[in-house]
Structure 1
Amino acid sequence: MPEKPPHPDVFDEDFARRRDAARKRLDAIDPARQHGGALADPKRREWFEAVYALADDDAAGVPWGNLAAHPLLQDWLARDRGLSGASALDVGCGLGDNAAALAGWGAKVTAFDFVPRAVEWARCRFADKGVTFVAADLFAAPADWREAFDFVHETYTLQALPSELLPAARQALADFVKPGGRLLVISRARDEAQKIDGPPWPLARRDVEAIANCGLVVEQLEDVLAPSTAVRHWRALFRKRHGAGA
């Protein structure tokens, strides 16, 4: 990985053109879009690795690489302002923008992705932010991360997984949170009966509320349609019960 990506971090018309072309190429090789393909690789690991390899250090080639923190995270951080000095974990960090935003509000951030190339890229982009970027798997995370973080954030990780993996993924997220700590989840939303031709697979309300079954309580569940996001989202905040992980 070079010290700086060869393409500048600019989201313009040419960036959008490259992004559209990349999405078409990636959809064509996504096993979840092929009959029976998701069964062979339910975590879609090979596909995610291919995303970053084929991007060739161009952020436009990463469909979620928008060169800025998610607007619903930015909005929440601006209103919460409770992360100074807190230990925070960013799940599925991608190119690192969300992790950098958490660090910008004073959190001590660990961020991970299961694609090493993504981690290297994020580390390169935000070398001056004090974020610890690590290659790790949500379903086999380091043992010392259990109940280690005051704040855990995930955007778009759950919606990238088939429904069969959601229970284990929800539990993994909850296991990272200290008793009394918080979990923030941001996802695209759908109605219960709405048919989805994914991926991604937007979450129904029950998918989000089920996170509370992992020793958490819902503090806030917002059904958001904001101009900055164009499509409907959930933004959900949970707090871990004391003694829940015993």
Structure 2
Amino acid sequence: MNEPQIDIRQKIKQLVAQSDPTAWFEVLYADSQGDANQVPWAKLAPHPYLQDWLINHTPQGEQPSALVIGCGLGDDAQALATAGYQVTAFDISPTAIAWCQKRFPDTNVNYLVADLLAIPSQWQQAFDLVFESRNIQALPVNIRSQVIQSVASLVAPGGTLLVITGFRETEAEPDGPPWFLSQSELAMFAEINFTEVNKLPFLELERLHLRIEYQRQTAN
């Protein structure tokens, strides 16, 4: 039963080896031809640990802004919109964004094509909540610092960054993708004015993952 997933992961490894760090996402979505089973992270439902977080975190103020990084097929963005956030969601893949718009034709979410490595200037420190789920780990370790800086730059002073990621207990470079984050890599957030508010470990496919809530300090 697991053979198709294994084949997809082998395809991803080949695509990563053949392209720049982000180009392969569009290839994978386009090649799937509308079959979500060909996109291994597409569950057609919000991440359960985002849903769990939303149960205990009511949006403060009137429609605070939220940004979903690498939104995929849109389920996490829709969950945030339902919870009361004014949501922008982006993906580098035009096919993924078109897929979101087809799945949710009446949505209030602003779905956009954008590149995490070339963030629009108007997004700098612009969002009350930024949700980052498994995008950092999908990009090579040799650009990790750049990616973390880019993610962090999106959060408004005093705002929240919610991260879901796989975790590796060694500092040795892993074989990927995905390239799970190490303790020293997560520590980069503290170095750029983020305070860890809460950390929840959980298992996914028998591998350790973390949900970490950070708050951006108001002083730069």
TM-score, normalized by length of structure 1? 0.81
CA RMSD of the aligned region, Å?
A: 2.2
Deviations 1:170-195 (A, max 9, x none): 11111111111110000011212577
Counting strand residues as a fraction of each chain, which structure ranks higher?
A: 2
Whether 2:185 is the aligned partner of 1:207: answer yes
Separation in 2, partners of 1:215, 1:132: 28
Contact conserved, 1:23 with 1:63, CA < 8 A, in 2?
Answer: no
Partner of 1:28: 11
> In structure 2, what is the Cα distance between the partners aligned to 1:30 and 1:53?
16
CA distance in 2, matches of 1:234, 1:106: 25
Q: Which residue identity is paired with 1:28?
A: K
Distance 1:186 1:107, change over 3 A: same
1:232 and 2:215 matched: no
**Structure 2 residue matching 1:80: 3-state secondary structure:** coil
Q: Which runs of 5+ in 1 are unaligned?
A: 1-16
Deviations 1:37-94 (A, max 9, x none): 37x62x141x211111110011111111111111111111112123661100000000
Tell me, yes or no, if the aligned pair for 1:180 and 1:240 is still in contact at 8 Å: yes
Partner of 1:48: 25
SS of 1:224's equivalent? strand
Cα 1:99/1:50, change in 2 over 3 Å: same
Query: Is 1:125 equivalent to 2:103 in the alignment?
Result: yes
The runs of 5 or more residues in structure 2 that have no matched partner are none
Change (3 A) 1:207 1:124: same
2:161 is matched with 183
What is the rounded CA distance, in whole Å, between the counterparts of 1:164 and 1:32 in structure 2? 17
Poorly superposed stretches of 4+, deviation over 6 Å: none
Amino acid at match of 1:165: I
User: What's the counterpart of residue 142 of structure 1?
Assistant: 120
Is the Cα–Cα contact under 8 Å of residues 13 and 176 in structure 2 kept in the other structure? no
Per-residue deviation, 1:134: 0.2
Aligned partner of 1:79 in structure 2 is 56
Q: Tell me the TM-score normalised to structure 2 length.
A: 0.90
Number of aligned residue pairs: 219
Contact 1:178 1:240 in 2 (8 A): yes
Residue in 2 aligned with 1:64? 41
Identity %: 38
The equivalent residue for 1:97 is: 75
Instruction: Provide the secondary structure at the position in 2 that maps to 1:219.
Output: strand
Distance across 1 between alignment mates of 2:11 and 2:152: 34
